[in-house]
Amino acid sequence: MSAGSLTISTRELALFVLKIFTGVVAGPIADDVYGLLVKHEKGAFDERLSKIETARQNLVDALSAIDDMKAAAQQHQAELVAIQDSVMKVGLERDQLSADRDLLAQLTAADKDRLRAMIGAPTRLQSVLIWFGTFIFGAVMSWVLTFAYDTGIKEVLSAAWKHITG
């Protein structure tokens, strides 16, 4: 405390004056007044303490809820990491399966060509050329036979048919 600055609150002053008054006037009325004021103050103090205790309990409950939420968030984060790892593994497996499928397709094509060569089956190009050649041959032969029928075979065939049928 510095010199020249004495501070005292109104409440402290009132309590000090009340104690002096009850000490000087020793009567049942003075004791009752002091007792009532002090008990009233204790009641208000107890009420404030209970409110503080309630607030402290609410704060503890809130901190507990925050801790629970933090634990749940950490658990969800761990699950997310596990899911990401699973997705990564599935992606790698998919890439491996795709590579295996491509390799199998190449091997199958090679085996198909080898089998076709072993049994002497034509390739796709050879098949197309055979179909095209057959079509052209059929068209030409149809034209040749139509021309021959119209030019002289018609009478020979009619005579042969009459001879067969009788």
Per-residue pLDDT of the chain in tens (166 residues, 90 and over written 9): 444 555 667 777 777 776 666 665 555 555 555 566 655 555 667 787 888 889 889 989 989 999 999 999 999 999 999 999 999 999 999 999 998 999 888 888 878 778 777 888 888 888 899 999 999 999 999 998 888 878 878 788 788 888 898 7
Q: What's the pLDDT score for residue 89?
A: 93
**What does the H/E/C string look like for the chain?**
CCCCCCCCCHHHHHHHHHHHHHHHCCCHHHHHHHHHHHHHHHHHHHHHHHHHHHHHHHHHHHHHHHHHHHHHHHHHHHHHHHHHHHHHHHHHHHHHHHHHHHHHHHHHHHHHHHHHHHHCCCCHHHHHHHHHHHHHHHHHHHHHHHHHHHHHHHHHHHHHHHHHHC
Half-sphere exposure of 157 (CA within 13 A, CB side): 8
Residue 113 pLDDT: 76
Phi-psi region of 8 (alpha: psi -120 to 50; beta: other; left: phi over 0): beta
CA pair distance 87, 135, nearest whole angstrom? 57
User: Do you know the residue count of the chain?
Assistant: 166
Contact, 21 vs 35, CB < 8 A? no
Measure the CA–CA gap between 92 and 87, rounded to whole angstroms.
9
